[in-house]
Structure 1
Amino acid sequence: MTLEKDPLEHERASWKPSPGLAVAVPDPVRDPELPPHRARITDKDPAAMTRAVRTVYTLFYLSVAASIWAIAAYFLFPIENGSVVAIRDNNLFIGLGIALALLAIGIGAIHWSKAIMSDKEFVEPRHATRGRDSTRLAAAQAFAVANEESGFGRRALVRNSMIAAVVASLAPGIVLFRGLAPFDSPLEPDAGNPVALLSRTMWKEGTRLAHDPEGTPIRAADVTLGSAVHVIPEDLADLSHTEGYLEEKAKAIVLLMRLLPEQLIEQPDKKDWSYDGIVAYSKVCTHVGCPVALYEQQTHHLLCPCHQSQFDVTNGAAVIFGPAARPLPQLPIMVDDEGYLVARSDFTEPVGPSFWERH
């Protein structure tokens, strides 16, 4: 292959400047140096500095007050009754308190840095070596200068108010963990026992399986091969929009699937828990309680979208991947005289996360 030559290559190689022609040679990059320092109003006027300091610590104390309000709102607007209004008010007022607390800290810190801390520009020479005694001494001196210029060690009121605001901003989050703790109630003896609460659901012998959310009973003949149906107890529809509905539904949700009967690997004591290849398993993941609702028809695997736990439907919903610690509880089912799928009993083990069982 022959490459064409640039027709101007010879002219470029032979070109020389004329004796009287001046050629511009670029200058080396010069240091632009620092611009002239512009003093702030707080540097010129002591009264302005005093106002800036007062503004900063006021913002920090406002943050403390907002954090206290968020904690108070947790108790003033409880959500134990489960009503939509109570949940709305609880989230609204706690959220406003936390948001105001963090916002006041942010504004106060920015105002401190812009109006109070020293803003003089300086050049810090850097050296190729590090770690010598002189370098360590210089670093310590730099920290001392930074402390002096920021006023952190000198302005005790600003410093202490900032520390109080940061510490107080953590308190609402810590208090909110109380909602995760079990509680005892004279009216509900098992209220403080999560294992007992998760061991009982609305399923009982003879309860029909119904479509979620409309509550229409399901005939066995209508469940097609490879399908996955979201199921609730038929009786749950009677509790719709009433107190306790969401709690009962969260425990009783089920996923119904139909496979070929010969594909099921069933334990001898669970042979009658399925009907003609139809099996029902709790939708509540045994890891942290997310809804297991993704079904692979070809592999017969159930997937949890939260942390990717996988369960084998053909083998008792055994865990085959992910952090889940135990299989999904199976709901024993049968068919009534009218051909509807009904439960043989409630779940025989607690539904939901297995961390309740740890000691």
Structure 2
Amino acid sequence: MSTEQHLAPPAAQQPELFENPGLEEHRGRLSDKDPRAAKRVELQIAILFGISVLGSIAAVVGYFAIPLDSTLGNVRLSNLVLGVGLGLGMLGIGVAAIHWAKSLMSTVEYIEERHPQRSSDETRATAAAMMKHGVEDSGIGRRPVLKGAVAGAAALAPLPFLVPLVGNLGDDWNVSKFRHTLWGETPEEFSGQLPDGGLGRRLAIDPTDTPIRAADVTIGSVFHVIPHGLNEAEHFYEEKAKAVVLLVRLDPTLLKEPDNRKDWSYEGIVAYSKICTHVGCPVALYEQQTHHLLCPCHQSTFDITDQAKVVFGPAKRPLPQLPIAVDDEGYLVARSDFDEPIGPSYWERLK
């Protein structure tokens, strides 16, 4: 019984490869044929660039015009205006550029033979002429409206990024705002009398604003703390972001305190800023067995038995310690503000 085999025909019997059909015949667009259509497209592109300009301006104006006070609505409105302005600024430029390329720029395809060696002067001159022709065909030279629109949109688009950045890096990065918190202010109604006769801001539970008695803090317990009376601060969210503290009570024999910090704790009770010195995330995870505070963002780890020094992670500085004492009524109070600026490290930070 024979088996039929299907073999490829000899090379002589194979059909020849198809011929290269070349480029498809160029089909002109309406904007190429009708000057009025081209003008309409030009106006549409100018409007898109104009939307970008308005979005960028709105973001900058909103940044300065909307106060970031204690009203949560203003914070949300400011973020909304900035976000929408940034979006329109970028979207307008992107859509306008695509519309311009598809409707007004040349769609003629060019073929240039590529050679492994340097082309002849004639070929190079031809290529340069083709590039020059492409620039001229884009219409940027003979369309002043578009030239002005794209220049204005491109010039204003970075402002919504730069203005908030520069505005926030002004006094803040010279340490004036990060060096001082409400712990250094001692209004009488929110303070207690220190053993030396002075006043200290009482520590209160966040968010109830309930003052904390030292007797209520047991070994191993953790309190999230704010300055007593913070709820009445003029810029509540800003001040809270700087003043939040984590309070822990340890066995006093575990603390490694230098001589200049012997009176910064009270019978094993220590208080440290919750703002990570890496990028400012809240350090709020306490390991009771190791006495470590952990930052959930990048796993920086601080040892609160040893002045909250860094034992792991990218942070480069210990957490600032809040000096505390007990007033004449048994409440925990802050002796003073933090001894150094809170928050992330940066290149010009004062040590």
Interval of TM-score (by shorter of Structure 1 and Structure 2): 0.7 to 0.9
Q: 1:173 aligns with which of 155, 158, 161?
A: 161
| Distance of 1:314 and 1:30 partners within structure 2 | 82
Which deviations, in whole Å up to 9, do the C-alpha atoms of 1:304-340 show, x marking residues without a partner? 34455432212101234555453222123345677x6
CA distance in 2, matches of 1:149, 1:319: 62
Q: Residues 337, 118 of structure 1: CA spacing in aligned structure 2 closer, same or farther, 3 A cutoff?
A: same
Match of 1:254 among 241, 245, 249: 245
Q: Distance in 1 between matches of 2:212 and 2:52?
A: 56
- 1:1-359 alignment runs, 5 A limit: 15-16=4-5, 34-75=23-64, 77-79=65-67, 81-127=69-115, 129=116, 140-177=128-165, 179-180=167-168, 193-194=176-177, 197-198=180-181, 200-201=183-184, 205=194, 207-218=201-212, 220=214, 223=217, 225-237=219-231, 239=232, 243-306=234-297, 308-322=299-313, 324-334=315-325, 342-353=332-343, 354-355=345-346, 357-358=349-350
> How far apart, in 2, do the equivalents of 1:119 and 1:112 lie?
12
TM-score, normalised to structure 2's length? Answer: 0.74
Unpaired segments ≥5 residues, structure 1: 1-9, 19-23, 184-190
Q: What one-letter code is carried by the residue in structure 2 that aligns with 1:72?
A: V
C-alpha displacement at 1:162, in angstroms? Answer: 0.8
Measured in 2, the distance between the counterparts of 1:328 and 1:143 equals 60
CA contact (8 A) 2:183 2:334 kept: no
Structure 1 residue 281 displacement after superposition: 0.6
Considering only aligned residues, what root-mean-square deviation do their CA atoms show, in Å?
Answer: 3.9
**Alpha-carbon offset, residue 264 of structure 1:** 2.1
1:86–1:235 distance in 2 versus 1, CA, 3 Å:
closer
1:3 alignment counterpart:
none
Count of residue correspondences? 330
Q: Quick one: structure 1 residues 25 and 276, their matched pair in 2 at CA, closer, same or farther if it must change by over 3 Å?
A: farther
Superposition deviation, residue 54 in structure 1: 2.4
The CA distance in 2 between the partners of 1:275 and 1:136, in whole Å, is 82
Q: 1:343 to 1:73 in 2, by over 3 A?
A: closer
Q: CA offsets per residue over residues 261-306 of structure 1, 9 Å max, x none?
A: 3332111232343344332111123345432223344443323344
Judged with a 3 Å threshold, the aligned counterparts in structure 2 of structure 1 residues 277 and 126 are, in CA distance, closer, same or farther, namely farther
Distance 1:81 1:262, change over 3 A: closer
Could you list the runs of 5+ residues in structure 2 that have no partner in the other structure? Answer: 8-12, 195-199
1:41-85 Cα offsets, whole Å, 9 max, x none, are: 11222221122122222332343344334333344x231544334
Say whether the 8 Å CA contact 1:311–1:318 is kept in structure 2.
yes
Cα distance, 1:142–1:322 mapped onto 2, change above 3 Å:
farther
Answer yes or no: is the 8 Å Cα contact 1:198–1:350 preserved in 2: no
Calculate the TM-score normalised by the size of structure 1: 0.73
State the SS of the aligned residue for 1:209.
strand
CA contact (8 A) 1:302 1:311 kept: yes
Q: Which amino acid aligns with 1:286?
A: T
Cα deviations across residues 144-163 of structure 1 (Å, max 9, x unaligned)?
24323323344343233212
